[in-house]
C-alpha cells in the first residue's frame, strides 16, 4: 500500500486518537504512528479504554515551512472549523472505518435508529477531500447495475446479496452513487467532477422514494442524475443478515459504514483514503436546483435524522442531530498501518 502520510505533506496537524483496539486474538494492540509529524497514540489501554487526542507531533502546534504556514489552536480543541476524520484505506479486518448501526439483528423487529434512511426521500451529504491518486479504483460503467461497489467506497449501506441498499464511492476520481430497490432493480449514476484534487468538496446525494430519482450535487452544482429503482430501500426491520461472512454478516450488514467496504469482501471492493467531515442525513430532498455550497457547519432541524461533525475525537461518532428516536451514534474502528482513521485539525470551514 502506498504511503499515505499525507498530513505532514499538506501541513496539517495530525491528532491521533488512541489507536487501541481489541483485535480479538492477540489482545490489545496500539497502532503505530504515521512517521514524523504525527504523535504516537496516547492513553487508552484496551477495549473501552480512554481515547484522547495526541499531543501535536514534534513540530508543535504551529508548523512553518518555506511554502506554507499552518497555525492551529493549541490544546487539541480544534481550529475554528474543528476536526475532520481521515481514513487510510486499510480496508480489512473491520478497521479504518466508522460504523453506524441501523438495525438490531434478529429476532428484533423494531425500527432501526433514525440513520436508517430510505423509507422516505433522503439526502446524504458530507464534505470530502482526497489527494490525487490516493484512490485507485478506475471509472465504472454506470447504468442499471451495482457498479458503485467497485469504486473506493466512501459510504456503504449495502446488504450482502440482498436488496434494499445503497452506497457511494469514488471511481476514476469521480463520484458514483448507487441504489438497489426491493425487487425493483439497481441503478448507479456517475458524476462528472474530478473530486480527488486535495481540496474540500461538498457532496449531496439525493434519492426520491416515489420514483427512485437519484441526483448528485458537487459544490452545489448538479453533477449527475438519473432514474433509479422505486420504493422503500431502508434496512428491513426484520432483516436477516446473509451468511456470507463465515457465518451471518451480523457485524457488518446492519450498519452504515464510512470509509470502507463493510464486509471486507475483497480487493474488488476497495476502501476510501481521504478526509470526511460534516455528514448529514436528512429525510427530505434538500436540494432541487443548484445552490451555493454551505459555508458553515450544519445546524440540526426537524428533517435532520443524523449529523456527525467529527469534532469530538473518538471512539464514538457522535450524532448531534437530536432526532426523535435517536441518537444514531456510531463507533470509530481503528487499526492498520498507518493506523486509521485519525482526527485531523482540518475542516472545510
To Ca ion, the closest distance from the beta carbon of 84 in angstroms equals 5
Cell numbers standing for residue 236: 428491513
The interface mask with Ca ion, positions 330-349, x = CB under 5 A, is -----------------x--
- Return the residue of 22, 23, 108, 144 that touches Ca ion, per CB under 5 A: 108
To Ca ion, the closest distance from the beta carbon of 231 in angstroms equals 13
DSSP labels, 12-44 = --EEPBP-EEE-SSS-EEE----STTBPPP-S-
Among residues 294, 234, 263, the alpha carbon closest in space to that of 111 is found at 234
Among residues 154, 224, 151, the alpha carbon closest in space to that of 192 is found at 224
Residue 166 found at the interface with Ca ion (CB under 5 A): no
To Ca ion, the closest distance from the beta carbon of 66 in angstroms equals 29
- Return the residue of 311, 319, 333, 346 that touches Ca ion, per CB under 5 A: 311
- Return the residue of 272, 310, 343, 348 that touches Ca ion, per CB under 5 A: 310
Distance from C-alpha of 17 to C-alpha of 158, rounded to nearest angstrom: 28
**How many alpha carbons fall within 13 Å on the CB side of residue 196?**
21
- When the beta carbons of 127 and 217 are compared against Ca ion, the nearer one is 127
Residue 314 found at the interface with Ca ion (CB under 5 A): no
- When the beta carbons of 253 and 311 are compared against Ca ion, the nearer one is 311
Cell numbers standing for residue 17: 486518537
- Return the residue of 86, 180, 273, 309 that touches Ca ion, per CB under 5 A: 309
- When the beta carbons of 174 and 280 are compared against Ca ion, the nearer one is 280
Q: What is the three-class DSSP state of 332?
A: strand
Scanning 52-60, 80-88, 211-219, 281-289 for contacts with Ca ion by CB under 5 A, the matching segment is 80-88
- When the beta carbons of 225 and 237 are compared against Ca ion, the nearer one is 237
What residue has cell string 434512511?
117
- Return the residue of 182, 237, 264, 312 that touches Ca ion, per CB under 5 A: 237
Alpha carbon separation from 157 to 1, 117, 165, 169, 296 (Å, rounded): 25, 10, 6, 11, 27
Distance from C-alpha of 31 to C-alpha of 338, rounded to nearest angstrom: 8
- Return the residue of 277, 303, 333, 346 that touches Ca ion, per CB under 5 A: 277
To Ca ion, the closest distance from the beta carbon of 349 in angstroms equals 8
- When the beta carbons of 66 and 296 are compared against Ca ion, the nearer one is 296
Contacts of 133 (CB under 8 A, 6+ apart): 196
Distance from C-alpha of 104 to C-alpha of 165, rounded to nearest angstrom: 16
Residue 53 found at the interface with Ca ion (CB under 5 A): no
Contacts of 5 (CB under 8 A, 6+ apart): 34, 35, 37, 38, 338
Q: Which residues bind Ca ion (CB under 5 A)?
A: 82, 103-104, 108, 112, 116, 234-235, 237, 277, 309-311, 347
Amino acid at each position: 500500500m502506498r504511503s499515505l502520510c499525507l498530513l505532514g505533506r499538506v501541513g496539517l496537524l495530525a491528532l491521533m486518537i488512541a489507536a487501541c483496539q481489541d483485535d480479538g486474538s492477540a489482545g490489545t494492540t496500539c497502532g503505530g504512528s504515521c512517521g514524523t509529524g504525527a504523535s504516537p497514540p496516547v492513553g487508552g489501554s484496551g477495549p473501552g479504554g480512554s481515547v484522547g487526542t495526541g499531543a501535536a507531533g514534534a513540530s508543535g502546534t504551529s508548523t512553518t515551512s518555506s511554502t506554507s504556514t499552518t497555525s492551529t489552536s493549541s490544546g487539541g480543541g480544534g481550529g475554528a472549523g474543528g476536526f475532520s476524520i481521515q481514513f487510510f484505506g486499510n480496508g480489512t479486518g473491520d478497521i479504518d472505518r466508522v460504523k453506524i448501526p441501523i438495525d438490531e439483528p434478529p429476532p428484533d423487529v423494531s425500527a432501526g435508529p433514525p440513520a436508517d434512511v430510505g423509507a422516505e426521500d433522503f439526502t446524504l451529504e458530507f464534505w470530502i477531500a482526497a489527494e490525487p491518486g490516493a484512490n485507485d479504483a478506475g471509472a465504472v460503467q454506470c447504468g442499471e447495475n451495482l457498479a458503485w461497489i467497485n469504486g473506493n467506497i466512501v459510504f456503504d449501506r449495502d446488504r450482502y446479496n440482498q436488496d434494499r441498499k445503497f452506497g457511494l464511492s469514488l471511481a476514476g476520481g469521480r463520484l458514483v452513487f448507487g441504489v438497489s430497490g426491493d425487487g425493483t432493480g439497481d441503478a448507479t449514476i456517475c458524476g462528472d467532477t474530478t473530486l480527488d484534487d486535495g481540496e474540500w468538496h461538498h457532496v449531496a446525494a439525493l434519492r426520491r422514494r416515489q420514483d427512485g430519482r437519484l441526483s448528485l450535487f458537487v459544490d452545489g452544482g448538479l453533477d449527475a442524475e438519473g432514474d433509479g429503482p422505486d420504493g422503500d430501500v431502508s434496512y428491513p426491520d426484520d432483516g436477516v443478515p446473509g451468511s456470507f461472512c463465515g457465518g451471518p454478516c451480523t457485524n457488518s450488514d446492519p450498519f452504515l459504514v464510512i470509509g470502507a467496504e463493510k464486509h471486507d469482501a475483497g480487493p474488488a471492493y476497495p476502501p476510501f483514503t481521504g478526509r470526511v467531515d460534516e455528514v448529514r442525513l436528512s429525510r427530505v430532498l434538500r436540494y432541487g436546483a443548484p445552490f451555493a455550497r454551505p459555508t458553515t457547519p450544519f445546524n440540526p432541524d426537524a428533517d435532520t435524522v443524523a449529523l456527525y461533525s467529527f469534532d469530538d475525537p473518538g471512539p464514538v461518532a457522535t450524532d448531534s442531530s437530536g432526532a426523535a428516536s435517536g441518537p444514531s451514534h456510531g463507533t470509530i474502528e481503528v487499526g492498520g498501518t498507518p493506523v486509521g482513521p485519525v482526527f485531523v485539525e482540518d475542516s472545510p470551514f
